[in-house]
Amino acid sequence: MDSYIDTTNSYYMMSVRWYVPCSVKYPRWSSIFRILSVELWLVLIISIVITAISTTLVGRYSCTLEWQGYKTLTSSLTILWAVILGVSVSTMPRAPSLRSLFLAWVCFSLAFNTVFQAFLTTFLIDSGYKTPIRNMDELFDSGIKLAYPQEYSLIAEKGDETEVSRVKQNFVFCPSKEICDNWVKYQKNVSVLLVDKIVEENYANGEYVGENSEFLLVRLEDGAVYTTDLTMVMFHGDPLMKRVNEIIDRVVEAGLYKYLISLSMEKIKLKSRKIAIVHPLDGYYSFNLYHMQPAFYLLLMGWCLSAFCFKVELLYNYVLSKGM
């Protein structure tokens, strides 16, 4: 049948590529742990331990009569932890050497608290987004499942053998395109194979747009599996073939076809009534109690822990007095 037809010049390029879920926000409760890296948290803990040991040694072997609270490691840790939390201590040190060490720790705690509270307030207002998947290597390394309908199996299994084997290794069966879309939009646990043109139309009609007008899918630039050109079909030997090719080339070079596509997309957007709202990065944020929920939860946890320790101490003293 190919001997009876000819194809014209291409007027549109269409690709089938991998789409991944957009990056999600960090939970607000994780803001405290993301302020410092793991290394800095370790440095902070080591600094507290070293300072507590130094305070205990200086308090024990100072020439002046020092308070008992600075002569044991447990009480020294308690005092240093109170200072770094901004809580006043019960007694101040007496020895000049211990006062110098205590003043240095107060200055360090003030600087640390200033930086910590500034970053904590920023993260509580906008917790930020997790690192998105940007290319195929990161897609395979992430371990996310790869899903595509049965009719795309021949397309997905084309290309480099190594890449095809990695696709098969992470493949999960997808009964239909609608189910694949739900997995990638709402559960955000799979990457799906889609046609660019269909995705653009779904963006326009609001199917791939969330409640807050945010995009739910993002395409991988190097994730194209199959690319084809759209052409027109004419009878073999048609005398108008040359003229049609000339018109197609002029329309494409002038950008008229892309302009018609953009008009159709705008019409779909207006009909769907889901126009994306872009929030600038320097926008105004209203800081309210909603943003302070993690802080209140941590405060409640601290109160519960303090009450538990207080009851354990009372019970221990009670048992100890009974034994005596």
The tokens describing 137, both together, are: 């290597």
| Domain co-membership, 63 together with 178 | no
258 domain residue, yes or no? no
211 and 157 in a common domain:
yes
291 φ, ψ to 5°? Answer: -75, -20
pLDDT of the residue at 50:
92
Look up the domain containing 94 and give its range: 29-125
Identify whether residues 120 and 209 lie together within a single domain.
Answer: no
Q: How far apart are CA 123 and CA 36, in angstroms?
A: 12
List, in order, residues 6 or more apart from 217 with CB less than 8 Å away.
Answer: 19, 20, 21, 22, 184, 185, 192, 194, 199, 208
Among 219, 241, 263, the domain-final residue is: 241
pLDDT tens for the 324 residues of the chain, in order: 467 788 888 888 888 888 888 877 777 667 677 778 888 889 888 999 999 898 888 888 876 666 777 888 888 888 888 888 888 887 888 888 888 888 999 999 888 888 888 887 777 777 777 777 888 888 888 878 888 777 777 776 666 677 777 777 778 777 777 777 777 777 777 888 888 888 888 888 777 777 666 677 888 878 778 788 888 888 888 888 889 889 888 988 888 888 888 888 888 777 776 654 444 444 455 666 666 677 777 778 888 888 898 888 888 888 777 766
Backbone angles phi, psi at 289, to 5 degrees: -65, -25
Counting beta carbons within 10 angstroms of the beta carbon of residue 90, is it exposed (0 to 12), middle (13 to 18) or buried (19 or more)? exposed
Q: Is residue 214 part of a domain?
A: yes
Q: 91: Cβ–Cβ under 8 A, 6 or more apart, which residues?
A: 67, 69
* Listed residue (200, 216, 197, 195) closest to 21, CA to CA: 216
pLDDT at 122: 76
Q: In angstroms, rounded to a whole number, what is the distance separating the alpha carbons of residues 217 and 287?
A: 29
Report how many domains make up the chain: 2
Answer whether 56's CB lies under 8 Å from 73's CB.
Answer: yes
User: Could you tell me the CATH number of the domain that includes residue 12?
Assistant: 3.40.190.10
115 and 228 fall within a common domain: no
Within 149-274, strands assigned E span 171-173, 190-195, 217-230, 233-235
Q: Of 90, 125, 160, which closes a domain? A: 125
Neighbour count for residue 171 (Cβ, 10 Å) = 15
**Cβ atoms 248, 257 nearer than 8 A:** no
- In a domain? residue 304: no
Q: Do residue 133 and residue 226 come from a single domain?
A: yes
- Are 195 and 14 a contacting pair, CB within 8 Å? yes
Tokens for 83, please give them.
Answer: 């200072």
The whole-angstrom separation of Cα 65 and Cα 74 is 19
Hey, what's the torsion of the CAs at 82, 83, 86, 89, to 10 degrees?
70
CA atoms of 47 and 28, how far apart (whole Å): 27
β-strand partners of 148? 173
Tell me how far apart the alpha carbons of residues 87 and 67 are, in angstroms, rounded to a whole number: 19
Half-sphere exposure of 164 (CA within 13 A, CB side): 10
Nearest partner of 191 among 213, 161, 223, 222, judged by Cα: 223
Q: Are residues 11 and 148 in the same domain?
A: yes
pTM higher than 0.85 for the full model? no
Q: What per-residue confidence (pLDDT) applies to 46? A: 92
Q: What is the pLDDT of residue 64?
A: 67
The closest of 12, 2, 16 to 229, measured between CA atoms, is: 12
- For residue 280, what pLDDT is reported? 45
